[in-house]
Structure formats: structure tokens, C-alpha cells
């Protein structure tokens, strides 16, 4: 950079002496200036003698008391010596006085002073350590824009900041700049970008970067391999992770306990606990596991000589993460008791368990719904001298809220406080969600107020949980009030919040509101997601605006969004509802062309559309469901049975009904209505009463729709005696028949000479009309 190399602790004395000489005449007539001069001289003296810690204390004291100057910017303005200001910048950065350091840097740059490489790098280090990543890149860019060539340390910190911001494009840009400027990227820099790529699941890009490292003769180290191995494990490619472990051997890089833990985590995370045995054997062989550990985990593994399963006074030493991974893996495959047994054996062998191991068991029991054992585990944890953490309590509270036991959950919040733990924002969010799902919205608002009183600021999840529950309960106005309050309290909504409001607006047919939320979302720089577009497309389709739905679909794809099965389901459903069968089938073909596998839900509107095209088309579509190895659900079966019913094909309707039952799909009211219709169309009225009795026996009580089919069906067959039988049962149950069908029944009864019945129905209809 602009300034040459200097000692970290010492300054050239002539610069400060020059300042002192120039200021001396002023000090005689200006006491404040004289005081400031004395303090600066003292600070300089300490730095000259290498008393950095004392200089740091003096500087902090001066800034707090403001006896000589109120800020470093003021001091910089009075001294106006680059070398002195540069040293102050370094001192503030080393002292982690971040606000003062950045303020001083800005003042120096404003006066066209450029700090030394040493001071800038120290500032960049402090900014990264304090997680001020955007500011780190801002300082780095400012240095580059000044025409200065950054060194390796500067680049390293800039890359680190970019990775932490998940801005991998910036990370690659910096990497390419290093290569272009001849600042060879080190293995550390490559490791930073590799870790960022793997964290984002971009394992292919990570692999390409690893290959680039090799081509550029940058030797990968253990961290490099561990990063890539962990990346492969996290995306479920365990085999490739193991192949990289073999490459470690080829490169003469020794695996560490982290290497093995990554592999164990990958295997256990995918439910392959038994396959973890080989990894554990290798760990034991390489000294990462004590002898006898495998016999603790696997019953059929031979115990070491002299291992009788109890502690012999020698404490077993094992990496905590290793046994926690195994316990979590066992719990994942439903072997919670085995995980508990492993922990008990380890404790028996002298291993001191940690909170994480007990939290794993508490979480596993909660997942299984065994709250008794979850609570018992918490008590055992305390007996071991381990204080349950907020994670422990939050796990219990979350499960209780999930099962609707919110009162019990509140009891555990009180216990949490009694144990000296303050409820976290996650604790309150769980309660809000629990009460919200039970529609106890008053309590939700009370919890938000409690959070404010206890100094815990509700976050986007707090408001999001409440908004989500209100939207699902179709209380859109209330949800909008919470949304406005949220913004008023300085909590910025995210895409998920907008998606909730858009979905609720669409489901209520308020498309204008939905698009207003959509426009507001874009205006505030929040990118729409696929969920956003799917909600709007479905809303338009369900409200008959299919042309607009397709236009939005094209707009979505033009912006680079890839449609999914939900997108196509919405379009197919919309076109079917609008009577555009050919467009529904076109969308279905497009879906298959794009290799998007349909779901059973895709076929709900398709079967309906095909039924209108004829039984052959309907049956072909049903066969496609079976060929795709999808299991037809009740909706599909009911659509098919209805198709046969309309055609009067009782045998096929009954055969499909039996197939439906054989597949374990229970009949519902719609099924029976379709079967009744089929029998009526085929004039097989004698079997209808048996169907209705069977329906009642299954707890499906006939309502107006069923009785309407029965009465009208018998009237159409001129069986007015049968029609009157069902009318009478319907009326006696307090259900009212459509007036038009009543007139049809009255006319038929009169024609048949059933005058008394005619009189009764006419009288009841007349009475009803008068009441109305």
C-alpha cells in the first residue's frame, strides 16, 4: 500500500515532534489545545516505548471521559499526521474498538490519507472477527478503488467476508482477482470458498474447485478433504464421500477425528447405522476410539480382553461428537432405547456425558410422543449435575404445543424460569404457534405483549406464526392488522410472510389484495418465490381467470423460475374448472415433456375432465395412474365410479368399489351417492335400500344431497311410491327437499292416485313456503 513497512509498535519520532513544535505557540493561549497536546504526547510516548496495552487503556479512557477530545475523528483533524492516525487506527483495531476504528478510517479517507497495509489488514481482521462482513468488503473495495494492490491477507479477509455473506459469486470474483494480480490463492482461501459452496449444497461446484486446486498445484490439507467429505455427506452422496477419504490416502493426508465424524454423520443421517461399524473399526485402529467402544454400540462385536462391561478405574476417552452422532443415528432409525443404553454404558466406563447427549434423547422421545420418558430423561440429566438448557426446555414445550397441550407447555415455561433460564424468542414463538393452531388468538396477542415486557423483541417468526394461523382460519383482516403492526415495530416481512397473505387472499377470492401484496413485495426488494407464483396461478385458475394464470406462468418461466408439479396441478385444475378439457390435457402433456412426475392430485381434475370426454378416455387416464405406480385415492375412485354411474354401468361401478375397499381406501358419502346413482340409472332399485343401510352402518348419515338423488331418481323411474318413502324419511329428519323436485313428486303421486300422500307433501311444501 501507500505507506512503507514499519514496526508494529513504534513510530518515527520526528513526525510527532513536528506536530508538537507547530502546536506549541497555540498552547500558550489555548488551555484546551495545551491539554490535548499533552495527552497526545503521552500516548505517543507509550507507543514509542512499546507499551501497547497501557496506550490502549489511555486511549479508551480519553474517549470515555472526553477530556482532551471527544472522538478520534476530532483528534485526527487536529493532528493531521498520516503516520500518527495510521498507528491510532492499528491500535483501535487491535483493541477491538470497532466503532472508533471505522470512524477514524472514514476520516482518514475523507482527508485523502490511505492507511498502511498493516493497519488496513488489522482493521479487516477485526471486522471479520466481529462479523461485520459487509463493512469488511466495503473497506476492501475502498482500498482497491484507491489504486492500491491488496496483499494476500487483505484478499483472505475479503473472501472470508463474502463466504460468510453467502455471496459465493463475490468469493469467486476475488479468487480470480488474486490470480490475475499474481497473489497466489492459498489453501486457506480455497478452503473458505469450498466451505461456502458445501454449506449451500453446491457440491458439484465444490468438486470443480477442488479439481482446480490440484491443477494449480495447491496442496489440499485435512481441512480441504473434511470440507468436501462433509459436503458430499450432507447431500446424501455417501459413496463419493468415501472415495474422497481414499484420495486422502493417495495425497498422504492423514484423516482426523473430524473426517470420521463427517462420514459417521452421513451414514447415520441416512439411516445406515450398521454400516457405520466399519468406520468405527478404522477409528479404533487409528487410535481415535478406545478399545472396547464397539462392543458398547454393537452387541455382536467381540469385547476387548479384560473388558467386562464395567469401569475398571480407567476413564474411557472418546470424542463427544462421535458418540453423539451415533446416538442421534440410532434415534433416527427408531432405536431410542439402544441410544440410551449406549450412553449408560459410556457413563459406566467413565465417560462424562454432555448436555447434547441428553438433549438427543429428550428430542427422540418427544418425536415418538413419549413425554413421560422425555421428562424422565430431563430429570436424569439434572441428577448427573447437568443443568437442562433452553434447548431442552424448548424441545419439550414444542412437542406439548404440537399435541395441543398448551397449558402443560406453559407449566414448563414456568419451570424453565424457576431453573434460572429465561425463555428465548424460540420459546415464545412455539407458544404463539401452539395457541394459534388452537385458534386461541387472544392468548397469542398476550404472548407478544409479554415478550415486549420482558425485553425480548418478537422476530419475523413470531409474527409469521400468528399470521399463518390467522390466514388458515380465514381471518385475513386480522392477519393484515398483525402484518401492519409488525412493520410498525421495525420487523421486516420476508417472502414467507407475503406468501401466507397472498395464499389467504387467493383462497378467499380476493385476487386484487393478493396482487397488491405481490406488488408490495417486489417494491421492497423481496424476491417472489415459486410458492408465490403457484398461489397466484392457482387463485386465478380457481376464479375462472385461466388466461391470466397462463400469462403469469409464462412470466414466471421467463424470469428463470422452474415450474413444479404444484404449478401444473393448479393450471390443470383451473382449465378443468373452466371447461377447457383440451387445455388441461395439453398441460398434462407439457408436464410429462418437462419430466415432472404427476401426483395423484394431478389426476383429480384430469379424471373429471376425461369423464366428460367419454369412458374410454377416462379409463385410459386411470391406467396411466397405475402405470406410474401411483396409488389411486378416494377422489380418483369416486370420479371413476361416478363416470360409470352416469353411464348406468353398475357392474363396473361395484367392481371398482370393491377394488377401492381392497386397496384399503374407505368409502365416503360421495362414494355411496355415486353407487346409488348407478343403481338408479340401471333401474336396480331393490338393492338401493341395502346401500343406504350400509352407508348408515358406517356412520355416514345421509344428508340433503343423498336424499335428493334418491327421491329424484325414483321419480325419474316413475317409482313414486319409492320416492315418497325416501321423501318421508328425509322430512322426518328435518331435511327439506328442493321445491322443484317436490312439485315433480306431487305430480307423480297425483298421477298414481296416491291422493293422501299428495295432500301431505303439498301441505308440507305450502307450510314451508309460508314460513319462508
Nine-digit cell string for 170 = 463475490
Q: What is the pLDDT of residue 647?
A: 83
SS3 249: helix
Classify 397 as helix, strand or coil.
helix
Give the pLDDT confidence score for residue 770 in this predicted structure. 59
Q: What is the 3-state secondary structure (H, E, C) of 451-472?
A: HHHCCCCCCHHHHHHHHHHHHH
| H-helix segments, 270-384 | 276-285, 293-297, 320-332, 336-348, 355-368, 371-383
Please give the CATH superfamily to which domain 562-720 belongs. Tetratricopeptide repeat domain (1.25.40.10)
Q: What span, in angstroms and rounded, lies between the C-alpha atoms of 83 and 91?
A: 12
Q: How far apart are CA 304 and CA 621, in angstroms?
A: 63
pTM here is 0.72
pLDDT tens digits, one per residue of 283-328: 888 888 877 777 777 765 555 544 444 444 455 578 888 889 989 9
Q: What is the pLDDT of residue 220?
A: 94
CA neighbor of 603 nearest in space, from 585, 580, 579, 578 = 585
pLDDT > 70? residue 347: yes
Residue 138 pLDDT exceeds 60: yes
Find out whether 665 and 633 touch, Cβ atoms under 8 Å: yes
Judged against a pLDDT cut of 90, whether residue 47 lies above it is answered with no
pLDDT averaged over every residue in the chain: 86
Give the pLDDT mean for 481-498: 93
pLDDT 10s digits, 733-768: 989 888 899 999 999 999 889 999 899 989 988 887
- The residues, any chain, with a CB within 8 Å of residue 501's CB and separated by 6 or more, are 467, 471, 476, 479, 480, 483, 513, 514, 517
pLDDT(156) > 50: yes
The confidence score (pLDDT) of residue 38 equals: 65
The pLDDT of residue 208 is 95
Q: How confident is the model at residue 67 (pLDDT cuts 50, 70, 90)?
A: low
Question: Nearest 5 degrees, angle CA 193-CA 194-CA 196?
Answer: 65
**Residue 531: HSE in the Cβ half-sphere, 13 Å Cα cutoff:** 12
Write out the three cell numbers for 140.
Answer: 476492501
Average pLDDT score over residue span 507-529: 94
Instruction: Write the Ramachandran bin of 394: left for phi over 0, alpha for psi from -120 to 50, otherwise beta.
Output: alpha
Copy the grid coordinates of residue 728.
318421508
> Domain ranges in the chain?
1-130, 562-720, 721-772
The model's confidence at residue 12, banded by pLDDT at 50, 70 and 90, is very low
Amino acid at each position: 500500500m501507500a505507506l512503507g513497512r514499519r514496526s508494529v509498535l513504534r513510530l518515527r519520532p520526528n513526525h510527532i515532534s513536528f506536530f508538537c513544535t507547530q502546536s506549541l505557540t497555540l498552547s500558550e493561549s489555548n488551555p484546551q489545545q495545551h491539554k490535548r497536546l499533552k495527552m497526545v504526547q503521552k500516548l505517543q510516548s507509550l507507543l514509542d516505548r512499546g507499551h501497547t496495552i497501557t496506550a490502549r487503556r489511555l486511549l479508551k479512557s480519553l474517549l470515555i471521559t472526553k477530556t482532551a477530545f471527544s472522538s478520534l475523528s476530532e483528534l485526527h483533524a487536529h493532528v493531521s499526521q498520516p503516520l500518527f492516525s495510521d498507528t491510532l487506527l492499528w491500535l483501535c483495531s487491535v483493541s477491538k474498538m470497532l466503532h472508533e476504528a471505522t470512524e477514524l478510517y472514514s476520516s482518514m479517507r475523507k482527508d485523502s490519507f490511505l492507511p498502511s497495509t498493516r493497519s488496513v489488514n488489522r482493521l479487516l481482521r477485526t471486522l471479520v472477527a466481529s462479523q461485520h462482513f459487509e463493512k469488511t468488503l466495503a473497506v476492501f473495495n475502498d482500498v482497491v478503488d484507491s489504486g492500491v494492490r491488496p496483499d494476500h491477507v487483505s484478499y483472505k479477509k475479503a473472501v472470508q467476508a463474502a463466504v460468510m455473506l453467502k455471496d459465493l459469486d463475490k468469493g469467486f470474483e476475488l479468487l480470480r482477482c488474486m490470480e490475475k494480480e499474481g497473489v497466489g490463492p492459498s489453501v486457506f482461501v480455497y478452503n473458505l470458498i469450498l466451505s461456502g459452496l458445501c454449506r449451500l449444497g453446491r457440491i458439484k461446484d465444490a468438486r470443480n474447485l477442488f479439481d482446480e486446486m490440484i491443477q494449480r498445484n495447491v496442496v489440499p490439507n485435512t481441512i480441504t478433504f473434511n470440507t468436501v467429505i462433509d459436503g458430499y455427506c450432507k447431500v446424501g452422496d455417501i459413496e463419493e464421500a468415501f472415495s474422497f477419504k481414499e484420495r486422502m490416502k493417495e495425497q498422504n493426508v492423514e484423516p482426523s477425528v473430524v473426517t470420521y465424524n463427517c462420514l459417521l454423520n452421513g451414514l447415520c443421517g441416512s439411516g445406515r447405522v450398521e454400516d457405520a461399524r466399519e468406520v468405527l473399526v478404522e477409528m479404533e485402529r487409528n487410535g481415535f476410539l478406545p478399545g472396547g467402544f464397539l462392543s458398547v454400540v454393537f452387541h455382536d462385536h467381540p469385547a476387548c480382553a479384560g473388558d467386562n462391561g464395567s469401569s475398571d478405574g480407567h476413564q474411557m476417552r472418546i470424542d463427544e461428537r462421535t458418540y453423539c452422532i451415533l446416538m442421534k443415528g440410532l434415534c433416527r432409525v427408531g432405536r431410542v432405547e439402544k441410544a440410551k443404553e449406549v450412553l449408560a454404558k459410556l457413563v459406566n466406563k467413565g465417560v462424562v456425558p454432555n448436555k447434547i447427549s441428553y438433549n438427543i434423547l429428550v428430542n427422540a422421545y418427544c418425536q415418538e410422543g413419549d413425554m413421560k420418558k422425555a421428562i424422565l430423561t430431563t430429570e436424569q440429566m439434572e441428577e448427573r449435575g447437568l443443568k437442562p438448557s433452553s434447548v431442552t426446555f424448548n424441545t419439550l414445550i414444542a412437542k406439548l404445543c404440537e399435541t395441543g397441550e398448551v397449558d402443560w407447555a406453559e407449566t414448563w415455561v414456568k419451570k424453565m424460569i424457576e431453573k434460572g433460564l429465561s425463555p428465548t424468542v424460540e420459546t415464545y414463538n412455539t407458544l404463539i404457534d401452539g395457541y394459534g393452531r388452537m385458534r386461541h388468538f387472544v392468548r397469542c396477542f398476550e404472548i407478544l405483549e409479554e415478550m415486549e415486557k420482558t425485553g425480548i423483541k418478537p422476530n419475523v417468526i413470531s409474527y409469521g406464526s400468528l399470521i399463518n394461523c390467522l390466514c388458515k382460519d380465514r381471518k385475513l383482516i386480522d392477519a393484515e392488522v398483525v402484518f401492519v403492526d409488525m412493520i410498525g415495530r421495525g420487523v421486516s416481512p420476508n417472502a414467507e410472510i407475503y406468501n401466507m397473505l397472498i395464499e389467504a387472499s387467493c383462497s378467499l377470492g380476493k385476487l386484487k389484495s393478493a396482487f397488491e401484496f405481490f406488488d408490495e413485495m417486489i417494491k421492497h426488494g423481496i424476491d417472489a418465490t415459486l410458492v408465490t407464483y403457484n398461489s397466484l396461478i392457482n387463485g386465478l385458475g380457481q376464479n375462472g381467470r385461466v388466461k391470466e394464470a397462463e400469462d403469469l406462468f409464462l412470466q414466471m418461466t421467463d424470469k428463470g423460475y422452474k415450474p413444479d408439479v404444484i404449478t401444473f396441478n393448479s393450471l390443470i385444475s383451473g382449465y378443468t374448472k373452466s371447461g377447457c378439457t383440451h387445455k388441461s390435457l395439453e398441460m398434462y402433456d407439457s408436464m410429462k415433456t418437462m419430466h415432472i412426475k404427476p401426483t395423484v392430485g394431478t389426476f383429480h381434475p384430469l379424471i373429471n375432465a376425461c369423464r366428460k370426454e367419454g369412458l374410454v378416455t377416462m379409463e385410459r387416464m386411470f391406467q396411466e395412474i397405475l402405470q406410474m405406480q401411483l396409488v389411486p385415492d378416494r377422489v380418483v375412485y369416486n370420479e371413476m365410479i361416478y363416470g360409470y354411474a352416469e353411464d348406468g354401468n353398475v357392474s363396473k361401478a361395484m367392481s371398482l368399489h370393491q377394488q377401492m375397499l381392497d386397496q384399503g381406501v374407505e368409502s365416503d358419502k360421495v362414494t355411496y351417492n355415486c353407487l346409488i346413482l348407478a343403481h338408479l340409472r340401471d333401474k336396480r332399485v331393490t338393492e338401493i335400500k341395502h346401500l343406504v343401510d350400509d352407508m348408515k352402518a358406517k356412520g355416514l348419515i345421509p344428508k340433503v344431497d343423498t336424499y335428493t338423488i334418491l327421491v329424484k331418481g325414483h321419480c325419474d323411474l316413475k317409482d313414486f311410491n319409492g320416492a315418497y318413502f325416501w321423501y318421508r324419511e328425509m322430512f322426518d329428519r328435518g331435511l327439506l327437499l328442493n321445491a322443484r323436485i317436490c312439485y315433480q313428486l306431487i305430480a307423480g303421486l297425483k298421477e298414481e292416485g296416491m291422493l293422501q300422500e299428495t295432500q301431505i307433501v303439498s301441505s308440507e311444501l305450502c307450510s314451508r313456503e309460508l314460513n319462508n
